[in-house]
Every structure is written in C-alpha cells, then in structure tokens.
Amino acid sequence: MRKPKELHRFYKSKAWLVARNIKTSATQGKCERCGAVGEEVHHKIRLTVENVSDTSISLNQDNLELLCRDCHNKEHNRFTKEKEFDDEGNLIPRWPRNSKLNLI
C-alpha cells in the first residue's frame, strides 16, 4: 500500500529528519522496548493525512518512539499469522495498536 502524497512529503521534510535525529540521540540509538539497535521512529498516535500538519502529533517527541525493526513490525502486526479473538470468539481486526480509528 502506498503512502498518500502528504505523508510521503512529511517523511522527506527537514522538520521530520530533525525530530527523528533528536529521538535517536535521546534514546542513544536503542529500541525503547527491547534495547536492540533502533531503526525506525514510530508515531504512537498514528500519523494520517488529517493530523500530519498538527505538530503536537507529527513532531512531538512524546508521541515518538524509537523501535527496532522487529518491535515496529510487532506494533503494526506485520508479517504475523497470529489471530486474536475477543471474549466472545469474534476475530479482532489486525489494525495497528494505539491508533485512533473512526469507525462508522
């Protein structure tokens, strides 16, 4: 799946590169979950076209987390065949944890 143009532009911006470098330096380059080498800066509140211009979400250090590739993939449930079920046995959809979704 391709990123929308707005998000692609954001991730190429100088502001993002600075915020990413600050987070990497602050964590001494280590994954904040397991201590491995951190490779990817994760937005705790998912970045969307609607909120990318809100710097309290897109650039706020408190909303950023340096993760290794394995922890980032686990956060987004990537490359897993595991299925989760609720108490009633219904399949829980595999969207990223900690994201705010508008379900209609």
Assess whether pLDDT exceeds 70 at residue 100.
no
- 54/77: higher pLDDT: 54
User: To the nearest whole number, what is the mean pLDDT of the chain?
Assistant: 86
- Per-residue pLDDT at 63: 98
- Per-residue pLDDT at 54: 98
Q: Which class in CATH covers the domain with range 5-92? A: alpha beta
What is the reported pTM?
0.72
- 54/82: higher pLDDT: 54
Non-local CB neighbours of 95 within 8 Å, separated by 6+ positions:
77, 101
36 near 30, Cβ under 8 Å?
Answer: yes
Q: Where are the domains of the chain?
A: 5-92
Instruction: Please write the tens of the pLDDT for every residue from 76-89.
Output: 877 766 666 778 77
Query: How far is residue 61's CA from residue 20's CA, in Å, rounded to a whole number?
Result: 9
